[in-house]
Amino acid sequence: VIAGIGDDCSVLRLSPRDEILVTTDFTLEGVHVRREWHPAGVVGHRCLARGLSDVAAMGGEPVAAFLSLAVPEKLPQLWVEGFFRGLLRLAGKFNVELAGGDIAHSLAGILADIVVVGSIPRGRAILRSGARPGDRIYVTGHLGGSAAALAELFAHPRRRLDPALYPRHFHPLPRIAAGRVLRQRRIASALIDLSDGLSTDLSHLCEESGRGAEAVGAEITETAIPRARIGKSSRLVSIEQALHGGEDYELLFTSSKPAPSKLAGVKVTEIGRITRGKGMVLLTSSGARRQLRPAGWEHFRP
Amino acid sequence: VIAGIGDDCSVLRLSPRDEILVTTDFTLEGVHVRREWHPAGVVGHRCLARGLSDVAAMGGEPVAAFLSLAVPEKLPQLWVEGFFRGLLRLAGKFNVELAGGDIAHSLAGILADIVVVGSIPRGRAILRSGARPGDRIYVTGHLGGSAAALAELFAHPRRRLDPALYPRHFHPLPRIAAGRVLRQRRIASALIDLSDGLSTDLSHLCEESGRGAEAVGAEITETAIPRARIGKSSRLVSIEQALHGGEDYELLFTSSKPAPSKLAGVKVTEIGRITRGKGMVLLTSSGARRQLRPAGWEHFRP
């Protein structure tokens, strides 16, 4: 970052061998977060995590963030300070500079729009569109932890959850390092982050991979899906939460060869194969073949 | 733009000799626009114009735009289509690709956040901070036309204004070509666009130029300020509107040598000088010296 806040534009300089990645994501009160459930710092953290995860999903390196924040006139200044603290703490972890943005009053509710600019060596971005029939399908980490926390919040709206017991919901860590290894070692044929839920994001990956090429689908083995554990009792989340729950910010990738069992210290699990022709199939624990429909994110909304 | 909408990030490639410009601007219903005054296409146009003007204010070339749009659930789809038509028409004029973004429902009101990414040869961005005592101060075009239209709307809230008679308010054209000439011919020591009003934006330029250097101020000659003409009768706007009115999206620049009288076909007017020490002075038409305070934009709000 050559020039940041205080001029008409921010000026960034990348290596001449790099391409630029740009991603933009809304975080909306009442949709992604609720003030009574999510402390200000958590909202700031999750807001930036969304953008960083998109950069991880290309195998890229985040460089700078730009925040546009609209808040109701009556919102306490303390809330805004807490929001920035949470956002800047996460930015610091990934050496990302908050290089600009805009602040305004909204008529109702908090709206944060995060822009993350990243870099990637020319031609090396890992797209969603490279999956081919026969490729293995992998995910990082454990799934469903964020949606399961949200389900508890909906079930007991007045209960406060301890963020430390539900880290994937309150403080998701974008898989920047794992994405970097996938790029450097040319492991992944296609890559996406799990923001909308496995079933939905996998359908996106298949759709993009089939665009202008032979249509592809996927076959997923239910018992292989790494389910998250949540809460004090380390309860395993349901298979539905792991299949469809959004906002885990893990990575989903395909590879024509066996992938390592860990990437930058993060567990990697093979969960299925890319198939010829459209459609997703779930091999259930009872051995049945069931059609798998994209049912992420929207499913879990109020 | 190598990859646009449909992946986790957009991928942009610039010339290795270029730096990246990034700017982000909110357009908020009730603050910048009103649905009853501004047709959807005008809102789309003005939304993108804000971002393009910031790139012009660095002497840069716009490359790609990213739009995050939050609209109330009940907003007609026709409105959204009109918005995009207005935005894309302006984008086409400047060869800018809409390369990504996000759409969501807002709890109340329309919120559009526009991000424009531009390019500029390395080290050649024209900052706000380069003005030195003795530099001449110039503006492009005519000032106050946008604020004067807004004043008419406030005075007669039910009257519709003919956009063709108030072009600077309804369809402001960012001064990309003029900014480019300023950069190529190394004319400007400092540059800013007039989005908040001359008095406010000039104070920003002085402040940034005095940061870590000798403090600078400005002396402006009232009679020199090029006032816009508006409406059917081509009425000259008031001096207050020209001095403080926002959203003209003209350029304000300083130069150590006389500037040409036109830049890329746009009229250029010398309006004063940069002075030693803090503070802005207005030489009034009666020959008096009056302190000039930043009184832009906020001044004209409801």
Model pLDDT for residues B271-294, shown as the tens digit of each residue: 999 999 999 999 999 999 999 999
Q: Is the pLDDT of residue B143 over 80?
A: yes
Most confident residue range from A71-75, A256-260, B154-158: A256-260
CB contact under 8 A, B22 and A9: yes
Determine contact, residues A96/A64, Cβ cutoff 8 Å: yes
ipTM of the complex model: 0.90
Mean pLDDT of A224-229: 98
Contact state of B193 with A115 under an 8 Å Cβ cutoff: no
Q: Poorest-confidence range of A97-106, A132-141, B61-70, B131-140? A: A97-106
Give the number of other CB atoms < 10 A from CB of residue B276: 11
pLDDT of residue A108: 82
Q: Can you tell me the distance from the alpha carbon of B226 to that of B141, in angstroms, rounded to the nearest whole number?
A: 7
Please, is B115 exposed, middle or buried when counting C-beta atoms within 10 Å of its C-beta (0-12, 13-18, 19+)? buried
HEC profile of B27-66? EEECCCECCCCCCHHHHHHHHHHHHHHHHHCCCCEEEEEE
Distance CA B223, CA A87 (A): 48
Q: B44 or A213, which is more confident? A: B44
Q: Which of A149-153, A237-241, B106-110 has the lowest mean pLDDT?
A: B106-110
Express as a percent the part of chain B with pLDDT over 90: 85
Spatial CA neighbour of B89 closest among B136, B48, B137, B135: B48
Best residue of B20, B209, B211 to probe chain A, by most A CBs closer than 10 Å: B20
Please state, in angstroms and rounded to a whole number, the distance separating the CA atoms of residues A248 and B109.
30
pLDDT digits (tens, 9 = 90+) for A41-71: 999 999 999 999 999 999 999 999 999 999 9
pLDDT on residue B301: 46
| Average pLDDT value for residue range B191-210 | 96
Q: Residues A297, A243: contact at Cβ < 8 Å?
A: no
For residue A188, pLDDT beyond 80: yes
Beta carbons of A120 and B25 less than 8 Å apart: no
Confidence of residue B42 (pLDDT cuts 50, 70, 90): very high
For the record, the structure tokens of B175 come out as 């001064």
Q: Chain B interface, mutation test: which of A113, A196, A200, A250, most B Cβ atoms within 10 Å?
A: A113
Which residue in chain B is spatially nearest to A32 when comparing CA positions?
B104
Question: Region B229-248: what's the mean pLDDT?
Answer: 95
Supply the mean pLDDT for chain A: 94
Confidence of residue A297 (pLDDT cuts 50, 70, 90): low
Contacts of B127 in chain A (CB under 8 A): 3, 7
What's residue A299's pLDDT? 39
